[in-house]
Chain A
Amino acid sequence: MQKTPSKIAALVLVGTLLAPALAFAQTTATASSTPVAVTAKMKTAISHADKEITRRITALNDLDTRAGQMQKVTDAFKQSLKTAVEGQVAGLTALQAKIDADTDAATLKTDVQSVTQSYRIFALVVPQGRIAAAADRIVTITGMMTTLGTKLQTRLAAAQSSGTDVSKLSMALADLGTKLSDASAQAQQSVTISATLVPDQGDKTKMAANTAALKTARADLATAQKDIVAGRKDIATILKGLKVNPSATSTPATTTTTTP
């Protein structure tokens, strides 16, 4: 059995998250001796901004939780990712508080535009993080299947020693190795493609390039998923051939991800 990569190189992802931090417009409120009533328009703007910020904070917190469950990256990387995500959450939380307290239309407008402008960072950071997490799980799975494959190899050798014809089962084992190797490569490729992307900051050409790269990374992971499923079928074949508990030979129902 081939060894799978033990770590995913995703350090550039950290740089992407840390470097272009959300740049929230910090404007000083226009001093006014007379309190300004918050207009209906301002209330609507505040409500929309609150919804968007809350939505992003929820997504970032989910990503933070998922990042903490990653198994194949270093603790330092996980902490860096966690720090970067939590920094964004803190920035959004502060912006939300500022917007909620805005009584000046001009200031509110500037703050709301910050929400819009910062979206391009969010729109990249979350998919990058999700891709890294998915790739991490692919490598975890290939590691587990490699371990299982090694055990199957031992059992096949024993069966062969006792006179059993294991030629077909050996072919399944070989195919398993091939599938796992490709799955790992696809996972690594997905991270390599996506981790180096930087926010487009409104540049439409860059936006298109980023979108294309993310789609390629997602396609690589889809290929890795197919490899994993095919490898699991090989395992089922071998378990059946070795007459291991029949309930272990059924392959799980696979949820095929379709683009919404």
Chain B
Amino acid sequence: MGTAIKWIIALIVIAALAWMVWWSGWLRGTGATSQSAAVPSAASSTVAATPPAPTNGMSADADTSDAALTQDAAAVDAQISAYSVDATNISSSMSDTPVAQSY
């Protein structure tokens, strides 16, 4: 086989390889690839939003254990008891009697 033909075949093979690499996206937009790679890593490195801490003595929202249910029920009971004070205060304020004035 002539040298020229060998060179032509070599070039065709190289071209084909280059095309395959391009088609696979390995070389295409290397910056973008690194960016898109950075995005997932950035996203994965982002700390997941911390759910707000439970208030009023409640347990964590995701906790359905017996202990959590018991804690939550107790927390509700405390608020119900506190509400009784609120209700009493309403009645007191509505039945308020002023100190009689002299003038």
Contacts and interface: CB of A to CB of B under 8 A. Distances in A.
Contacts of B33: none
B77 A137 contact: no
A205 interface: no
Interface string A48-70: 11011001000100100010000
Contacts of A147: 58, 61, 72
Interface residues of A, number: 64
Interface residues of B, number: 40
Contact of B72 (A113, A148, A252): A148
Given A41-B102, A144-B75, A145-B76, A244 B83 contact: no
B84 A257 contact: yes
Contact of A59 (B84, B90, B93): B93
Nearest to B95: A260
Interface in B62-103: 63-64, 66-70, 72-77, 79-84, 86-96, 98-103
B80 A228 contact: yes
Nearest to A153: B64
Interface of B: 55-56, 58, 61, 63-64, 66-70, 72-77, 79-84, 86-96, 98-103
Which 4 pairs across A and B sit closest by C-beta, in order of nearness?
A255-B84, A45-B102, A134-B86, A52-B99
